[in-house]
Chains A and B, each alone.
Chain A
Amino acid sequence: MISQFFVLSQRGDNIVFRDYRGEVQKGSPETFFRKVKFWKEDADGDAPPVFNVDGVNYFHVKVAGLLFVATTRINVSPSLVLELLQRTARVIKDYLGVLNEDSFRKNFVLVYELLDEVIDFGYAQTTSTEVLKSYVFNEPIVIESALPLGPASIFMQGTKRMPGTAITKSVVANEPGGRKREEIFVDVIEKISVTFNSSGFILTSEIDGTIQMKSYLTGNPEIRLALNEDLSIGTSDYRGSGAVILDDCNFHESVHLDSFDIDRTLSLVPPDGEFPVMNYRITQAFKPPFRINALIEETGPLKAEVTIKVRAEFNSSINANTVLVQMPLPTFTARVNFELEPGAVGHTTDFKEANKRLEWGLKKVVGGSEHTLRAKLTFSQELHGNIMKEAGPLSMTFTIPMYNSSRLQVKYLQIAKKSKAHNPYRWVRYVTQANSYVARL
């Protein structure tokens, strides 16, 4: 059970504050924010999501740059409270369409209304947007998303590990045109982690996938979602090469698995709002989308040269977006001269003086292409040790729409029809993102 719930902006301003039980002092947001802000200086690294100050336990999650915080004096389940905070954020997003400080401030009365129904006297009541609809009466004031709706930018909000789905449309707000558009979005989002050793050999690799759904269908029709028939779970029933093998997976509570073992079909009546149908984890070897070669060589007493080569190993009809390559350089690096390949378009290079890091941004990388960056480093002091130990490892972030590493597929998406004329829009999309994509020197 929690005592208070509040949301703080990045600057520490109170956006909403709800005291459910009056057991924790009113100044808790200030205490919390000060602690989080100075954590780096007092100790090291970011403040953990759970900490205790003077007998009060503070829980927080970061969503869309906002801090969602709960306090309690009781020894509760941390995972329950953090999950509750995350869900509360999701419910609010379902209502507001876009989650940011501005939308919050415009709709705080609605947010209070939601908070009253989601939690009563500190106990979770319901986090289902579907159920809440019948208790909540304020109409959201929808604000336009600031992001241009390019093909991949739609996946780019929120934290990297919890990408927001498709659209920024409120689940409850009426369209300006009057009638609601009947549509359903299914996104297969895969976050991949790969570590290459210095010779380009893969040390570890993992795919963390989610099938995310957001439904705007009226009348709650039943949906059947068919996955690859050769899909297997656990390594026990290996079905030869080419099969997709999940190490493990879990499902949303609305999912019925009656025929899953036979034909890999999930059936469900999707509730309103955004939710993960299924989460899965794969450690089976897969072909990484990028190959990276990185080299650092001493070229003189105070000089070194870095060469980075990136090759996109996917089909040329697919593009990767917002690719960023980063690499820590030796501490004594004073100056960096970059040398891009001739004809490079949309590349940016930067040397972050403060933390001695090289950054190379590529707006778009076409499948099959290869790009090279050379950087000449100048040191302020002579290096003693092994230069390979002073630099790196190189890390890379990217988003590749319409590409998935695991070959897990939604074979079909069937909506139980109410009438012949009824034919809602169905969107099934794939996206692959880098979680931890690292090449060692």
Chain B
Amino acid sequence: MNDDRGYVNFNEKSEVSDLKLQLRQLAGSRAPGTDDSKRDLFKKVISNMTIGIDVSSLFGEMVMCSATSDIVLKKMCYLYVGNYAKVNPDLALLTINFLQRDCKDQDPMIRGLALRSLCSLRVANLVEYLVGPLGSGLKDNNSYVRTVAVIGVLKLYHISATTCIDADFPETLKHLMLNDQDTQVVANCLSALQEIWTLESTTSEEAARERENLHSKPYVYYFLNRIKEFSEWAQCLVMELVAKYIPSDNSEIFDIMNLLEDRLQHANGAVVLATTKVFLHLTLSMADVHQQVYERIKAPLLTQVSSGSPEQSYAILSHLHLLVMRAPYIFSSDYKHFYCQYNEPSYVKKLKLEMLTAVANESNTYEIVTELCEYAANVDIPIARESIRAVGKIALQQYDVNAIVDRLLQFLEMEKDYVTSEALVLVKDLLRKYPQWSQDCIAVVGNISSNNVQEPKAKAALIWMLGEYSQDMHDAPYVLESLVENWDEEHSAEVRLHLLTAVMKCFFKRPPETQKALGAALAAGLADFHQDVHDRALFYYRLLQYNVSVAESVVNPPKQAVSVFADTQSSEVKDRIFDEFNSLSVVYQKPSYMFTDKEHRGTLEFSDELGNLSINAETGDSVVPAQRVEENDKDLLLSTTEKDDVRDPGSNGSAYNAPSYNGSVPSATSQPLADLAFSSTGATGQAPAPGLAIDDLLGLDFSVGTATTPSPPPLTLNPKAVLDPGTFQQKWRQLPISLSEEYSLSPLGIASLVTPNALLRHMQSHSIQCIASGGQSPNFKFFFFAQKAEEASIYLVECIINTSSAKSQIKIKADDQSSSQAFSTLFQSALSKFGLP
């Protein structure tokens, strides 16, 4: 092969025509040694193909030379043909003949190879030639040919779904899956059918049912009984299936776990993780066993982390990270495993730092913090920063922080820019939680010259402290004054905003010393080109003009210490990631809908617009999804009661007005939904939360009153209501929840609810339309809407049905909230009739 690409390009044309000539000469030759010369030539062609040179012009000659019994030559020829057939559909026709002939060869190897190549041509108008060879391939007495044929069916489906379905191939695969002796044939059938039925289920209810059936007891037991005969890769496939199975009782759960127990000792990390997923998901409803599972999988996962390549251990460590975050106390004695090694890549170190932070408790904090302090002097600066932040986070989650505060203050004295910067930000957060430490901290912070602090975040933190503790910091007004003097050189708007606020605060505490600086700051702020800075300056100015004491109560109100800082990720997002255990969601720390297109998520059938809505919500800096119309998904386990926590205002621009954020706002709707027969409290929780103190000041009252009329008029619904998904989304976002309830379903209803579609038609007959639905047993999710018969008033419903508990959870939003109770009654009666003859 030619390494010098320039040379190759220069000679490309002549080399290809040269090859063409030589191939022609050999095509008809029967001289001894011809095959060897052919091999050399074919190699040259394929080597050109690999480095990206277009050798498609040799197609005809290659096909001519393919008449040979030499299997190595055949394979090279197949490779070539597979590569170029798609772009040369006419020429591809030339190959059909010899491929079909080879499909009937004596040698099963050749039959298999030819069949694979035939199916890999990816040319739509040739599919008619595929059906025959595939049909006989599936019946071949050689298992190699059958494995190839099964995947061939899947290839055919992707080229022409109708041809595949018309030939009844899925049915044949199903039969093979349940009867073939060869486990690789069985595994390929499973892969192929899962793919085909999932794609088919959007249009065919039968396919949807077939796909659901894969998770039923007979299938799951059939696969489990043969688990050890499967290859390690196929075992992963089977266990993915088992993880979705819902056992009927606990003894079944224990049987499955006992059977799979030794898979945890497998050297293949993918098998161990797949087993772990089965264990975790089977025991979700058994709290104590679930915890034992954590204990059981700990050692095998740690072994996997330390035995594989760095890449494999990263994949496992990401999953361990997820588990540690869910149940830190279970891992608190294993903290030493999460110490960083100097030669680990930083993506591993970052995970470990987060794990160390999470597992810190009363008994191990001292050692963990000591270790983290070692990393703070690390040559790897990003990791040093992360380590300091980790120390800070531990301080914020611990009750006994004395020792940690000392360490942090030592960081401030280390005289490394980035260490000082990180430490300043931390001290600021620490003071917001533990104001009692102000004396100690201020003494040290006071010694830091603001000239030595360059990073905006750190500078903003320092300025905030200067404003907040100006009465204790002797030279605060003068430091602030000098900062105001250099206003034009300050490039960060964040810093300028903080400076404005700090000067205001300082002014109320030490007016005579600050008056000059305040005047200068307001003037500079009003002239600032940055909109926010300008607006804030103007706001302060007018506020002072209006009334100084009001201004003080606005800018400098008594503050409550922050008890818990807002989590960056909602518990619902975390649950979703946990449901998607053993997938990329865990590595990316995002649920799949945030990084995967709809068609690649597999089992969803939700309207596009609604899906995009959730994705769009994620584009901001904050990871909290603001809009809550979420994707329906396979499982919604354990997550529904925590849904409204994310409404906490903590996510709103905390850097902006960090000091006034009060983290203790209770979430009104976090009480168990079952207790709320009629919840009017829900509405206040859903109102746009006043995240900025300014909102309150402007006298805006966001709370929405939910008065109910004592006797709602009888409600009739418009049987032909229409609503486009865009409007649905918009309304769902705007309206508060006026009702959330839980109903029980009749056993008959549950039995009929095999696919979402069954319920849709039923509800439609009660004038309740569905706009989106999805999920699979036992969790289904629907979005319905309905319209009043005589007016335009719309009702929106989110309905989650769990078939194993026979419960449905309903959230109703309505244009006319006074009638939502009446609508709820209607909805319930419609739902309760589902499945009745």
Contacts and interface: CB of A to CB of B under 8 A. Distances in A.
Interface of A: 1, 13-17, 21-22, 44-46, 48-50, 52, 55, 57, 60-63, 73-80, 82-86, 105, 108-109, 112-113, 116, 120-121, 123-128, 135, 137-138, 159-162, 193, 195, 204, 206, 208, 210, 234, 247-253, 276, 278-281, 283, 328, 355, 384-386, 389-390, 392-393, 395, 435-436, 438, 440
Nearest to A438: B342
Interface string B333-354: 0001001011111110000000
Contact of A78 (B315, B345, B377): B315
Contacts of B75: 112-113, 116, 137-138
A45 B347 contact: yes
B596 A73 contact: yes
A13 B233 CA distance: 30
Contacts of B86: 22
A367 B342 CA distance: 26
B309 A77 contact: no
Interface string B565-602: 00000000000000010111111100010011100111
B347 A436 contact: no
A78 B597 contact: no
A127 to B, nearest CB: 7
Contacts of A22: 86, 122
A180 B595 CA distance: 52
13 contacts: A15-B50, A50-B314, A78-B584, A109-B72, A113-B72, A193-B341, A204-B336, A279-B267, A281-B302, A384-B415, A385-B416, A392-B377, A435-B343
Nearest to A61: B311
Interface in B511-538: none
Contact of B583 (A48, A49, A78): A78
Contacts of A252: 267
A77 B269 CA distance: 11
Contacts of B17: none
A121 B155 CA distance: 7
Nearest to B190: A123
B596 to A, nearest CB: 5
Contacts of B72: 109, 113, 137-138
A55 B184 contact: no
Given A77-B236, A79-B269, A395-B343, A1 B191 contact: yes
A19 to B, nearest CB: 8
A249 B315 contact: no
Contacts of B582: 77, 79
Interface string B242-267: 00000000000000000000001111
Contacts of B303: 247-250, 279-281
Contacts of A49: 310-311, 314-315
B151 interface: yes
Interface in B287-331: 299-300, 302-304, 306-312, 314-316, 318-319
Contact of A204 (B122, B155, B339): B339
A423 to B, nearest CB: 30
B692 to A, nearest CB: 32
Contacts of A48: 314, 345, 347, 587
B184 to A, nearest CB: 7
A79 B270 contact: yes
B232 interface: yes
Interface in B146-163: 147-148, 151, 154-155, 158
A175 to B, nearest CB: 21
Given A355-B379, A395-B342, 11 more contacts: A14-B50, A75-B580, A75-B596, A75-B602, A82-B311, A109-B72, A112-B46, A159-B310, A247-B302, A250-B303, A276-B307
Contacts of B339: 195, 204
A195 B151 CA distance: 51
Contacts of A13: 51
B311 A75 contact: no
Nearest to A112: B79
B50 A108 contact: yes
Contacts of A253: 232, 266-268
A14 B52 contact: yes
Interface string B171-190: 00000000000001000100
Contacts of A55: 595-597, 600
B31 interface: no
B270 to A, nearest CB: 4
A120 B151 contact: yes
Nearest to A234: B299
Interface residue tally on B, bucketed by range: 35 or more
Given A52-B588, A61-B311, A440-B374, A77 B583 contact: yes
B724 to A, nearest CB: 27
A199 to B, nearest CB: 14
Contacts of A121: 151, 154-155
Contact of A162 (B122, B274, B309): B309
A436 B382 contact: no
A326 to B, nearest CB: 9
6 nearest A-B residue pairs (beta carbon): A45-B346, A436-B341, A49-B311, A124-B233, A80-B270, A248-B299
A124 B188 CA distance: 9
Contacts of A127: 233
Interface in B340-382: 341-347, 374, 377, 379-380, 382
Given A50-B587, A109-B43, A137-B71, A126 B231 contact: yes
Interface in B392-451: 413-416
A323 to B, nearest CB: 16
A44 B346 contact: yes
A86 to B, nearest CB: 6
B707 interface: no
A436 B414 contact: no
B306 A45 contact: no
B763 interface: no
A75 B592 contact: yes
B188 A123 contact: yes
B97 interface: no
B600 A74 contact: yes
B154 to A, nearest CB: 6
A162 B311 CA distance: 11
A334 B240 CA distance: 58
A153 to B, nearest CB: 21
Nearest to B350: A45
B549 interface: no
B116 interface: yes
Given A126-B231, A251-B267, A279 B1 contact: no
B587 A108 contact: no
Given A206-B306, A249-B303, A395-B343, A83 B184 contact: no
Given A45-B382, A55-B595, A250 B270 contact: no
